[in-house]
Amino acid sequence: MEPRLNKWQEQVEEELRQQRKNAEFHARPAEVLEKAPFVPKQSEKPLSEMTNVELHSDRRAADREAYERHKKLREADMEAMKRQVSCDNSFY
């Protein structure tokens, strides 16, 4: 029984040593200090041209302005009708 216990204890100790060894920090060499610096190469694509873009917010603002004008006209018509009805009722 004693030899198996000794063998097991040695295995546990070996595993602990292996874990400690694996846990140690090992820095890699700084290769970037020896390499040439990164230099981006010039693009061969042509430059993009700016075009006139119609934004949805601009179109929405124009639509809203037209709606507000239409709404004011309707309100003015309704007010005129109310005045006309009130004038017609005042004759009776």
- Tens-place pLDDT, residues 12-57: 999 999 999 999 988 899 988 889 999 999 999 998 888 888 899 9
Asked whether residue 27 is domain-assigned, the answer is no
Asked whether residue 43 is domain-assigned, the answer is no
Asked whether residue 67 is domain-assigned, the answer is yes
Instruction: Pick the range with the lowest mean pLDDT from 41-45, 70-74, 81-85, 88-92.
Output: 88-92
Q: How many domains does the chain have?
A: 1
Q: Which helix (H) or strand (E) holds 88?
A: helix 56-90
d(CA 70, CA 63): 11
Asked whether residue 91 is domain-assigned, the answer is yes
Asked whether residue 48 is domain-assigned, the answer is no
pTM for the predicted model, two decimal places: 0.40
d(CA 90, CA 84): 10
d(CA 92, CA 85): 11
Asked whether residue 16 is domain-assigned, the answer is no
Place of tokens 């873009």: 53
For residue 81, what are the domain limits? 55-92
Asked whether residue 78 is domain-assigned, the answer is yes
Asked whether residue 80 is domain-assigned, the answer is yes
